[in-house]
Amino acid sequence: MSESVIPSQEAAPRLSSLFHRDYLFGTLMLGGGIMLHAVETYITATLMPSIVRDIGGLELFAWATTIYVAASVLGSTFVAVRPESVTLNRCYVFGAVLFGIGSLVCTIAPTMEIVLAGRAIQGLGAGFLVALGYAFIRYVYPEPLWSTASTLYAAVWGIATFLGPTIGGIFAAGSAWREAFALLVPLSVIMAFVAPRLLPSGDGERVTTKTPFVQIVLLVTAVLLLSFASSVAAPALRGVLAGAAVLGVIAAITIERHAQARLLPVGTISVGSPLARVYLIMLMLLVTICSDVYIPYFLQVLHGVTPLVSGYLVALLALGWTAAAFLTASLSGRRANRVILIGAVLETLATAALVFTLARHNPGSDLLFLALSTVFTFLMGFGIGMGWAHLVTHVMRLAPAGETDKASAAITTMQALGAAFGAALAGIIVNSTGLLQPGGIDGAVTAARWLYALLALPAAFAILLAIGLPHARSGGAD
């Protein structure tokens, strides 16, 4: 790698450095893998109404997301516990092939059950690709560019938020949902073919362990139980399922603490572990941000906004994440820790503020409340975006020797679990506080108030975790 493009400690790393000839192909491959996953996520969300109209399966609608997320946890975990002979670029090939096979299954699916099978295979491949986006950073770039690379990959999600619904809308308008999945097949094949030629092998130091099968099963089961809990009508059953999910998480943590086959790096399951605090901050911020899943619904029902406009308004959350990531990318040391803390505070306050702006009946579409709701939605994303890349950099620097692959893959696991638990908790809250019973406008207002009040709490907990976070001493002034 050329040293001429490595920024000095006094100079802020520039995004353009990632596209220098020494790093260009790695940047395109890693960013492309995350982009493929991110865009497809939004395409599928847009296509699902067309799919159920065509082949039925409305009762399985939510499972298209749940099973995808659960499978991605398995894929990201394999990256960390893969056999010693399997290099990272081989994992990339496996991930791209699996993603392509899953897309092909969805393309030809005659029933919703087959679509879900395809989504499971897609999710498995996506878990590989996203985990590798982070795991490869230390092989493709010098350390001063780690935070900048993390910023770029975070920004991919912001771009995908606009591309996904647009592409999905084009195919949905013509009921061409099969063609949308088919388009992903050749892209996956190309990426699988060129990965060994454009990416380093990535077979550096790591500790080889057995697969943490029990912990994985418990966590995936907890996700599925919470998803069931968010969809059942009986409050008692909802409570039982949610309680069982909590017990599953506790059991997974207890086993992880003493297991030889570990899901997380050694020492992570410890109250005093800085790495554990970083992972918890990530998880809490993501749980809060997933309250956005109901923003389009409340905009349409309470504020009279059209579906298309509501979709693009909620996309401002991802835009805020992207904007903040770029604005704070050059910070390091104590300043990086400050923006993590400030970002958590901002996300907490913005989420809580939606209780007063979004959670109200506004049949006349009063621009004041719409504008304020839009601003706070943007600020929710801005808050998490301020610190995300620096949290990723913390993980790579705090990872124990030989366990950097496992630490990097765990970032994707936290993302998947945060998204799954956040969406499921949001469903439980709104369904338990009036959205279904009594329903209507009054039920939606009450549910929205409870949702944003309660889901501001995980981000508030992240504030406490971020206080006193150890700062990196390499690169950049404090």
pLDDT tens digit sequence for 43-77: 787 777 778 778 887 667 667 777 887 788 788 77
CA–CA separation, 475 and 472 (whole Å): 8
* % of residues, the chain, pLDDT over 90: 26
CA–CA separation, 400 and 435 (whole Å): 46
* Chain centroid offset of residue 231 CA: 22
Please give the pLDDT value at position 309. Answer: 72
pTM: 0.75
Q: Is 235 exposed, middle or buried (0-12, 13-18, 19+ CB in 10 A)?
A: exposed
CA–CA separation, 17 and 4 (whole Å): 10
pLDDT at 475 over 50: no
Mean pLDDT of 199-221: 71
| Tokens found for residue 333 | 């040391």
Mean pLDDT of 22-32: 82
Please give the pLDDT value at position 416. Answer: 75
Q: State the pLDDT confidence band at 311, using cuts at 50, 70 and 90.
A: low
pLDDT at 94 over 70: yes
126 vs 97, 199, 229, 396, CA distance in Å? 10, 18, 26, 21
pLDDT tens for 407-448 read 877 787 787 788 778 877 888 888 888 887 788 899 989 999
CA–CA separation, 360 and 366 (whole Å): 11
CA–CA separation, 291 and 288 (whole Å): 6
Q: Could you report how far apart the first and last alpha carbons of the chain are, in Å? A: 27
Please give the pLDDT value at position 242. Answer: 86
Please give the pLDDT value at position 471. Answer: 65
Mean of all residue pLDDT scores within the chain: 82
Say which amino acid occupies 235.
P
pLDDT tens for 268-283 read 887 678 888 999 999 9
For residue 354, which of 418, 428, 445, 463 has the smallest C-alpha distance? 445
CA–CA separation, 342 and 383 (whole Å): 7
pLDDT at 300 over 90: no
CA–CA separation, 240 and 242 (whole Å): 6
pLDDT at 301 over 90: no
Who's near 323: CB < 8 A, 6+ residues apart? 158, 382, 385
User: Which string of DSSP letters, residue by residue, matches 182-217?
Assistant: HHHHHHHHHHHHHHHHHS-------------HHHHH
Is 222 in contact with 245 (CB distance < 8 Å)?
yes
Who's near 8: CB < 8 A, 6+ residues apart? none
Mean pLDDT of 461-474: 79
Residue 292: DSSP 8-state: G
pLDDT at 322 over 60: yes
| Tokens found for residue 13 | 């790393």
pLDDT at 141 over 70: yes
Mean pLDDT of 377-389: 92
Who's near 66: CB < 8 A, 6+ residues apart? 223, 224, 227, 420, 424
CA–CA separation, 293 and 240 (whole Å): 24
CA–CA separation, 416 and 410 (whole Å): 10
